[in-house]
Amino acid sequence: MQTMQFNFRTLCRNAAERGGQMQQRLLDALDARHSVKTLPEFGIERAAQLAGCTANHIRNLEARGDLPEPRTIEAGSTQRRIYNYNEINIIREIIGKRPERPSGAGCVRVVFSNLKGGVAKTTMSLHFAQYLAREGYQVLLVDADPQATITGAFGFIPDLDLDDGDDLFPALTESPALIADAIKRTHWNNLELIPARLALQYTDWRLSQPEERQNDALGPPPVRLHRAL
């Protein structure tokens, strides 16, 4: 009879490492990470349409040095100018067509919420945020779903890229000011993200406790996110 001995802690650590490696390989095969995601690119005519001016106006601004030198790609025997949404926003800034918040106005908050699952809350939230960013608005997208589908759409893997504090939990349970620490940059210069993690599901239980409902410093749970934003 043979007896096998092993260190259970080492076994668990090795299993976790291999699981992380497998998860990384799957992500590499399916989608780009947040650090290498890119925006769609298009020619000068589409860029002018989005910016609200003519293609010749963009060419003139570039020739005068008012705009950065454009990126180009080879198109047969010519060099074709290409732009993305971030560069469109630079053009809007220069020609004075970037949307601005009226003086003294607060930010607009849009919530996609429904107690039923599978009704396109995530899809609508993601597309609406990207649409606003495409139009030149400054956007903060808050993922409050522990499934973190929106977070994944921006190339973040919660288990690999996020730590404690990288979600809404501290802002809702400790101090509204901590929400600033959770904000992540994305491949859109004007769209930032507060990501979600599976651990966020603990927030519902925490906020339902009597001591949380009676926390005078933070106020009632329903208004804490409003104060943080």
- pLDDT category at 103 given cuts 50, 70, 90 is confident
**Token code pair at residue 115:** 């107690």
Are the CB atoms for 99 and 136 separated by under 8 Å? yes
Residue 115 has pLDDT above 90, yes or no: no
Residue 49: pLDDT over 90: yes
For the segment 27-38, the average pLDDT, to the nearest whole number, is 67
- Which one has a higher pLDDT value, 19 or 46? 46
103-228 maps to CATH 3.40.50.2000: no
Summarised one tens digit per residue, pLDDT across range 174-198 is 998 999 999 999 999 999 999 999 9
**Which 8-state DSSP code applies to residue 198?**
G
User: What was the pLDDT predicted at 5?
Assistant: 62
Q: E-assigned strands of 58-119? A: 71-75, 78-82
Residue 181 vs residues 46, 120, 143, 147, 217: alpha-carbon distances, Å: 36, 28, 15, 21, 20
Average predicted confidence (pLDDT) for the chain: 88
Residue 124 has pLDDT above 70, yes or no: yes
Counts of helices then strands in the chain (DSSP H, E): 12, 5
Question: What is the sign of the dihedral through the CA atoms of 96, 62, 39 and 157?
Answer: negative
**Strand order across the 184-185 sheet:** 139-142, 191-194, 184-185
Helical ranges in 76-120 per DSSP H: 85-95
Which amino acid is present at 142? Answer: V
By residue count, the chain amounts to 229
50: left (phi over 0), alpha (psi -120 to 50) or beta: alpha
Half-sphere exposure of 180 (CA within 13 A, CB side): 2
Question: CB-hemisphere CA count at 13 Å for 12?
Answer: 3
Q: What is the pLDDT of residues 132-182, one digit of tens each?
A: 999 999 999 999 999 999 999 998 988 888 888 899 999 998 998 999 999
The residue to which tokens 């210069």 are assigned? 189
Domain ranges of the chain: 44-95, 103-228
Phi and psi at residue 103, in whole multiples of 5°?
-60, 130
Please say if the pLDDT value at position 214 is more than 80: no
**206 vs 26, more confident:** 206
* Of 14-23, 27-36, 69-78, 120-129, minimum mean pLDDT range: 27-36
**pLDDT category of residue 131 using cuts at 50, 70 and 90:** very high
Place of tokens 């095969």: 29
Q: Inform me whether the pLDDT recorded for 33 exceeds 80.
A: no
Q: What is the pLDDT of residue 218?
A: 84
- pTM of this structure: 0.79
- Which position has the higher pLDDT, 34 or 48? 48
The type of residue at 130 is Q
Do residues 178 and 167 touch, judged by C-beta distance below 8 A? no
103-123 mean pLDDT: 86
